[in-house]
Chains A and B, each alone.
Chain A
């Protein structure tokens, strides 16, 4: 093993520094926090008061555009969308503006009520939207007239910012940065448990006490990452899901994982004889991982979960992660894995020293 080499530890620490620096200092893209009014009627003049986060409306005053967008749910053509441009915009301050619309008398929809997305675009911050927030009512349905009135405006041009931004998400806001610190802990935990199983198998094949020590050190480090993951996740949940602990399936399965590995430690402590201790804990460790994989990876995907990537949708789809997050997230996972391996190697080396000293004492 290369546990006495330095290069990979340096790589881990440098990556960690980059992740902390970029993960904390990259600004969030501007986003719409709320809009009032959000219930409007077709055919009237309406003035929206828009409250944003991290915007530069005063600086970009001349180039701001506001749009209302509607995509009919029952439309056969999925590309079909209707966009209306605001006819007047008044900037109040950096984060607040008013946009007035002259609404056409009919909606481009065959129902009396339709949902609209509000889009704010400027050259400095790029475009941002608050999806399906505006509810528009109409007294009578006239689909042909609605489509005609809503189609007349020219195609809008949306800016994309030239700086790197993390996406703005309502409720999450700045805590989207926790993706790098909380999720990476769980990835690192699985590497530790996976590698410990490798050494457990090696022990059962060769009866080499060295493999047992390595496996034991990796399990303890993995458990450490699991407990850290639960604590950080709990804090994150408190201020986004408004509770320390929910009955979300992934949380309970993670707690179960921690209990399974806690009992591994108890089992190890309970057996006196060194050979038996190593053999039984190696066998237990293999079964523990086999039990944990369905708990974390399969069960949460079969049911609904608050965690992204569960309830049937693929993990890390484009809805949950965009490229600006990925470019920090993957180095973060690697950094936590390398630091975890370093911690495990320190545990293993100190245990090995104790083992050698005890062997000498016995002889």
Chain B
């Protein structure tokens, strides 16, 4: 067994470790990890909602100032 054989063996061993991680199935890894994509879109939607809350507070501030005059 020369050096290349040894490299390929460890290389293969690494692949096995990676595969065993990938194949573990929990909710987020089901059906090709599609839930991760839903999660990302949910984060963006929550972000946009927080932006709307911020904007609403700004507009309330303007309304208050106008009504005080």
* Option from B5, B21, B32 in Cβ contact (under 8 Å) with A174: B32
Interface presence of B14 (CB below 8 A): no
Specify which of A53, A181, A350 is in contact with B40 (CB 8 Å cutoff): A181
> A170-B22, A175-B33, A224-B51 are contacts. A182–B40 as well, Cβ < 8 Å?
yes
Q: Are B65 and A346 in contact (CB under 8 A)?
A: no
Smallest CB gap from A232: residue in B: B40
Interface hits, B5-53 → A, CB 8 Å: 5, 8, 12, 15, 18-19, 21-22, 28-29, 31-34, 36-37, 39-41, 43-44, 47, 51
With both beta carbons as reference points, the residue of chain B lying nearest to A360 in the complex is identified as: B69
Nearest CB in chain B: distance from A213 CB, A: 12
Chain B positions within 8 Å of A267 at CB level: none
Residues of chain B within 8 A of A173, CB atoms compared: 32-33
Q: How many A-B residue pairs have CB under 8 A?
A: 92
- A347 adjacent to chain B (CB < 8 Å): yes
Residues of B within 8 A of A343 (CB): 51
Contact partners of B15 in chain A: CB under 8 A: 38, 133
Nearest-Cβ distance from residue A323 to partner chain B, whole angstroms: 21
With both chains docked as a complex, state the minimum distance between the C-beta of B52 and any C-beta of chain A, in angstroms: 9
Q: Is A28 an interface residue (CB 8 A)?
A: yes
Tell whether, in the assembled complex, residue A231 and residue B43 are in contact, meaning their CB atoms are under 8 Å apart: yes
For the complex, give the distance between the alpha carbons of A254 and B2 in Å. 44
In this complex, how many residues of chain A approach chain B with their Cβ under 8 Å: the count is 47
> In the complex, what residues of A have CB within 8 A of residue B8's CB?
113, 115, 135
Q: Which residue of A lies closest to B18 (CB)?
A: A171
Closest to A23 in B: B37
Bound-state CA distance A121–B31 (Å) is: 23
Q: With a 10 A CB-CB cut-off, give which of A28, A185, A235 has the most chain B CB atoms.
A: A235
Asked if B22 contacts A357 (CB within 8 A), the reply is no
Nearest CB of B to A344, in Å:
11
Do A175 and B36 touch (CB < 8 A)?
yes
Shortest distance from the beta carbon of A360 to any chain B beta carbon, whole Å: 8
Residues of A within 8 A of B44 (CB): 181, 185, 228, 232
Residue-wise, chain A 126-151 has the 8 Å CB interface mask toward B (1 for contact) of: 00000001010100000000000000
- Asked if A354 lies at the interface with its beta carbon under 8 angstroms from chain B, I say yes
Do A174 and B31 touch (CB < 8 A)?
Answer: yes
CA distance A34 to B44 in the complex (A): 34
**Chain B residues with Cβ under 8 A from A232's Cβ?**
40, 43-44
A–B pairs, 11, beta carbons within 8 Å:
A53-B32, A135-B12, A171-B22, A173-B33, A174-B33, A177-B37, A178-B37, A235-B40, A236-B36, A236-B40, A354-B62
B residues with a Cβ closer than 8 A to A are: 2, 4-5, 8, 12, 15, 18-19, 21-22, 28-29, 31-34, 36-37, 39-41, 43-44, 47, 51, 55, 58-59, 61-62, 65-66
A positions within 8 Å CB-CB of B: 20, 24, 28, 34, 38-39, 53-54, 111-113, 115, 133, 135, 137, 170-175, 177-178, 181-182, 185, 224, 227-228, 231-232, 235-236, 238-240, 242, 343, 346-347, 350-351, 353-354, 357-358, 361
